Structure 1
Amino acid sequence: MAVGEIRSMTGVRGAAAVFVMVYHFELDRIPSDGALSTFLNHGYLSVDLFFILSGFVMAHVYGPSFLSGAFRFGDFLWHRIARIYPLYLAVTLGFIALAFVKSSQLDIGPDVFVSNVLMLQALGNWPSIDPPAWSVSAEMLVYLLFPVIGLLCLKSSRTAALLLGIGALLAILILTLAASLHYIGSTISKGLLDLIAAPFTLIRCLAGFTLGQLLWRLHNDPVAASFASRTSIQICVALLALVALTQPDWDFPIYLLIILLIFCLSTDRGMFSGFFASRPLHFLGDISFAVYLTHYRALGVWSMVEGRLGNTGFVIRNVVATVVTSMVVIGVSWLLHVGIERPCRQLMRKGSAAFVRKPAA
């Protein structure tokens, strides 16, 4: 376990990756009304959980050095690149190669290729070669603002931090209201915050990242942490979340409950922590980035499995296809994690450390 790791937060990241995977597998395949459909259609909000969680984790890891003045932006940025870029690039290039093998031609313009390789697609509405990767691009762009966000969130007065949090929540609320009035959004959206075009993607990411930073600051308050660690409070949050997920157009209340969920997990105590820190969910958390990047292209596997079930009942076909394809994705993701993601991250970080230690000529 990494120093300073909150295991339950790793676990919730794994659960969220599985939720968004199932959301894509079942998209448009189950009846459009009903509690189950509404529940699954909220799976896209896992991305907002990633944004909030990322802000918290970055503050948890780098906040102390930031507050002490020892923070070095170059090291931070290099570590984030080492964490994200090798697997992102391998998967992106892999999908390009698969597309070429399949059709012997590439329907990708130079601007799309360059923007994807440089992770800039969220900045200019270039399509992501790997569709879910728009959020990775948005998050990488927000990392560039980390010194400013950290200054505002972690070193400001309580009043300023409160106003910043209210501003971030208002930004999310305005997006949901604008989408409900059909001012923004698209015909393929499955929820009011299901916004995957600039500048809304960056607003979602920046607001979530900011709220995550502020949660870390609140997490250090012993009174607030003690309240959030109570099993009764965590049960209430879980029940409210289950109800909210089955209600259409409750995207903003669900967003608030995601914030509460992460705050409860940050205490590393109580019912939530025990569940999400379990070995299966922690394992999924370790490979969650690979699951997130690869699952969308497994839709072909899902269709193949579903087709081979012939005249079997609709529900059985869906469940079996989803379970089998999920197992395939998890297996491939584990191989990518141990074969590319983890060794490349370690190699890049060791190389950086060796360069720093190298004496001047």
Structure 2
Amino acid sequence: MRIDELTFFRYIAASIVVIFHFGTDATGFRGALAAGPQMVTFFFVLSGFVMGISYFNKEINNKSYWWARIARIMPVYILAIVLMVTSSYLQGKEVDNLSLVLNLSLLQAWFSPHPLSINGTGWSLSVEAFFYLTFPFLLYGIKSRNLSVKHMMVASLLVWGVTQIITTGVLSAGFYGGFPSFSHDLIYYFPLTHFCSFIIGIYGAMWVLEKNYLITNNTVSFFIVGVSTAILVILLNNETEISNFFELEFAFSSSFFAPLFLLFIIAVSICRSQLIRMFSARPLLLLGEASFSLYILQIPIHQIYEKYIVGDLGLSPLSNFTLFFVILTITSIGSFLLFEKPAMNFIKYSLPTFIRKTASRSN
């Protein structure tokens, strides 16, 4: 089961992350349009959802599963590290060897102060790697205990609730040390803090697979997706008001919105009308497929842009960001078509065949 309509929204989420990092002052965007950290929660929920949809009704072959995960994320991830290390070298800056080792092994999010080292956006891939590691065990546990969708809903919301109680307690009780600090890394980057988002995504996949709802009416589809989007936007635009109302500090960018992101993902998944299927048009699908390159390469491409492209053009802040964003989008599409996809196919298919042939000849 493949839900192409969701792919384009990966591009929207990745673009919001780029705006958060480089374009808030230039664009004046606030709230939902600049909610970069919150969009990472969307990626985590979507990851659990897609993994659940893809594997829940299959037997996982561990060898092919791991090889597919490596092929999917590592080529562009390593490319970004190479670009950042090269940039540091050209600028005469030292690269911390421990940070480099942790980044190459996808462990940086586990150890403060390293989550944002080398390539800052890479911390989320460190978290994703933990999700990939645990997924086969989660799936085995769900199936072996014959957990129902209702039981999984309770379990996922319980894990999410406990996580939010802990992070809210740390923020509201005066233990938070600000950025940068150990407490900041623990609340916002530590993989276990975001595990609830992944589990919620798996629950969503179970729900969709079991219910098998199919809404084809354009009006109903527009209403369902529109309402779920409106709820998200309203809450993202009013985080301060939410904190003031409850008189608590919430970690909004640390899986707080995971249940609402799941509602949006489910809404798009069950609405199969012509209106919603417009989001699976080939140009939009291509943007979604290129979103991983856009997300992971944004910092090195921005450094290249600032040093070698923008120069003395005298652009206004908005024009400067717009030009960067267009170049980043074009570069990410090129990266997907010319590097990411070929490298993924080579690692996933050609390399194992080459290794087998080499091994058979040596024997």
Q: CA RMSD in A?
A: 3.3
Select the residue among 4, 7, 19 that pairs with 2:4. Answer: 7
Instruction: Give runs of aligned pairs for residues 170-249 of structure 1, distance below 5 A.
Output: 170-175=161-166, 177-178=168-169, 180-181=171-172, 183=174, 187-188=178-179, 196-197=185-186, 201-222=190-211, 230-249=221-240
Unaligned runs of 5+ in 1: 311-316
Please state if 1:293 is matched with 2:279.
no
Please state if 1:277 is matched with 2:295.
no
1:112 aligned partner: 99
Greater shift in the superposed pair: 205-214 or 121-130 = 121-130
Distance 2:55 2:134 in 1: 14
Aligned length: 338
8 Å CA contact 2:8–2:280 kept in 1: the answer is yes
Select the residue among 60, 73, 79 that pairs with 1:84. Answer: 73
The TM-score, its normalising length taken from structure 2, stands at: 0.81
Select the residue among 152, 160, 169 that pairs with 1:169. Answer: 160
Unaligned runs of 5+ in 2: 243-251
2:245 aligned partner: none
Report the Cα offset of residue 285 of structure 1. 1.0
8 Å CA contact 2:293–2:332 kept in 1: the answer is yes
Change (3 A) 1:74 1:199: farther
Report the Cα offset of residue 200 of structure 1. 5.0
Report the Cα offset of residue 62 of structure 1. 1.6
User: 1:210-234, CA deviations, whole angstroms, 9 ceiling, x for partnerless residues?
Assistant: 1111101000233766599743222
8 Å CA contact 1:38–1:246 kept in 2: the answer is yes
Distance 2:354 2:159 in 1: 39
8 Å CA contact 1:51–1:205 kept in 2: the answer is yes
Report the Cα offset of residue 305 of structure 1. 4.6
Greater shift in the superposed pair: 48-57 or 290-299 = 290-299
2:52 aligned partner: 59
Please state if 1:26 is matched with 2:23.
yes
Instruction: Give runs of aligned pairs for residues 17-166 of structure 1, distance below 5 A.
Output: 17-27=14-24, 36-65=29-58, 70-103=59-92, 106-125=93-112, 126-127=114-115, 128-153=117-142, 156-158=146-148, 159-166=150-157
The TM-score, its normalising length taken from structure 1, stands at: 0.81
Report the Cα offset of residue 95 of structure 1. 1.3
The letter for the 1-side match of 2:348 is R
The letter for the 1-side match of 2:268 is L
Give the match's secondary structure for 1:332: helix
Q: Percent identity?
A: 21
Give the match's secondary structure for 2:239: coil
8 Å CA contact 2:48–2:202 kept in 1: the answer is yes
8 Å CA contact 2:216–2:273 kept in 1: the answer is no
